[in-house]
Structure 1
Amino acid sequence: MYVIVILAMIAGFLALRLYSVLGKRTGHEQEPALRPAEERAKVTVLQPSPVPQGAGDSVRLAEGLIAPGAEHGVRALIAVDRSFDVPQFVDGAKSAYKMVLEAFWRGDRDELAWLCDADVLASFDAAIAAREAEGHVLDNRLVRIEKAQIIEASVKDRIAEVALRFEADIAAVTRDKDGNVVAGSMTDAVGTRDVWTFTRDIRSADPNWKLSETDEG
């Protein structure tokens, strides 16, 4: 399905700042794996794929991936974009969730700019700046994603939006400039719940989806 361009995010919860930026978190976070800009084109989190004749119903095959009440919106999206595949999209969204978190944790503004729309990027940038001003560094780890499920989908004026709820375990440590632990624990992962919305103009030649909204789940 479409490359869902979005990569690594979320902090060791610098107080309530992180809550407002990413949604409610009851957990800890992750350490980054750098991804050079020149390798971005290689990231195929969600990639368009041809729809073979007689292919299975993407909604019917997406057991557990679509929340009750969201199926109608997903079918409406598939009706205008036949290449939209639910299982592939959810897999890509999970990869995107991890990538955005990691980019946010390491303060990689360039990576976030490539993956997020302007409003989300501004929120992340403000949180990163506040963290930098305090001299804090995040040492976080995404332990696992327990569940990712589409909870809403819509198409309006050819703009597609898909919202997913993520349930994950995150371990996080916040350190000061000298490396001393300020908060958190890498041995005590905590559950988190987020709702992230991805958006794409299906008229555009650009196949990429952008992270357009974050909220608590």
Structure 2
Amino acid sequence: MVEIILLAMVAVFVGLRLFSVLGQRTGHEQEPRMPRPVEAPPTVQQRPQPVPDLAPAAEEEPDGLVLPAASAGIRKIASADSSFDVNEFLIGAQAAYRMILEAFWKGDRDDLEHLVSDEVMESFNAAIDAREAEGHELDNKLIMIDRTQIEMAEYDSGTARITLRFDADIAGVTRDREGTVIAGSLSDAVETHDIWTFARNVRDADPNWKLIETDEAS
């Protein structure tokens, strides 16, 4: 019995020693490698390709800014000049209206010569000469353009002509040689209504239009 007990005690002692060595980590063991999941290839997002128009949309005239009487002429001009755009023309006409008025008020003949025809320049020169002879100076200001409307358009033998009505508010005074105000007021704008006709030879390389006729709207 004594021998059996001693053998049992030896077996327990050996088992405890093995557990103390194998059951604890020393810090030098390699971590078990987990299988790496297979990654799906990244999805490439493609932008939707625009579908080309089979036919360009017809350009629409600005609502209310082209009178019916001018529609046929506008179409003829657009057919003869592929670069013509009625919206851009209206914007340019308003800019020209302002530049021509300001040049005339200042008596700037050089600027006017680039913007108006010879016939209109003669009329402007006569008015500027008469004003200077009296010693008058204009101190005018274009407050705003209320409306610009194409009233007539025509195309003949390469020349395009477009007549517009400008409704604008202008404030201004006339001064004498001493600078004294003799007419007008800068605090009160006056409604003005002008009929101007611009022309251009569409066969010329120069894209600019010139003022060829002026009148007051009835």
- Range class of TM-score, shorter chain: 0.7 to 0.9
Query: 2:32 maps to what in 1?
Result: none
CA 103–56 in structure 1, closer or farther in 2 if over 3 Å, else same: farther
Amino acid at match of 1:143: I
Query: 2:110 maps to what in 1?
Result: 110
Shift of 1:76: 1.1
CA 99–53 in structure 1, closer or farther in 2 if over 3 Å, else same: farther
Shift of 1:54: 4.8
Amino acid at match of 1:180: T
Question: Retained in 2: the 8 A contact 1:65–1:86?
Answer: no
Question: Retained in 1: the 8 A contact 2:144–2:170?
Answer: yes
Q: Does 1:185 align with 2:185?
A: yes
Q: Which has the larger displacement, 205-214 or 121-130?
A: 205-214
Amino acid at match of 1:100: I
Q: TM-score w.r.t. structure 1 length? A: 0.73
Amino acid at match of 2:190: V
Q: Classify the secondary structure of the residue corresponding to 1:115.
A: coil
Query: 2:58 maps to what in 1?
Result: 57
Hey, what's the Cα distance between the residues in 2 that align with 1:123 and 1:145? 24
Shift of 1:208: 1.4
Q: Classify the secondary structure of the residue corresponding to 1:154.
A: strand
Query: 1:38 maps to what in 2?
Result: none
Q: How many residues align?
A: 165
Shift of 1:199: 0.6
Hey, what's the Cα distance between the residues in 1 that align with 2:119 and 2:91? 25
Q: Per residue, is there more helix in 1 or in 2?
A: 2
Hey, what's the Cα distance between the residues in 1 that align with 2:61 and 2:54? 16
Shift of 1:68: 2.4
Hey, what's the Cα distance between the residues in 2 that align with 1:124 and 1:149? 24
Question: Retained in 1: the 8 A contact 2:70–2:154?
Answer: no
Q: What RMSD over aligned residues (CA atoms) do the two structures have, in Å?
A: 1.5
Shift of 1:79: 1.1
Q: Which has the higher contact order (CA 8 A, sep 6+)?
A: 1
Question: Retained in 2: the 8 A contact 1:166–1:195?
Answer: yes
Show structure 1 runs of 5+ residues with no match.
Answer: 1-51
Query: 1:144 maps to what in 2?
Result: 144
Q: Deviations over 1:143-166 (max 9, x none)?
A: 110000111111111111011100
Hey, what's the Cα distance between the residues in 2 that align with 1:193 and 1:100? 15
Shift of 1:56: 4.1
Greater radius of gyration (CA): 2
CA 141–53 in structure 1, closer or farther in 2 if over 3 Å, else same: farther
Hey, what's the Cα distance between the residues in 1 that align with 2:74 and 2:142? 28
Question: Retained in 1: the 8 A contact 2:174–2:182?
Answer: yes
Query: 1:161 maps to what in 2?
Result: 161
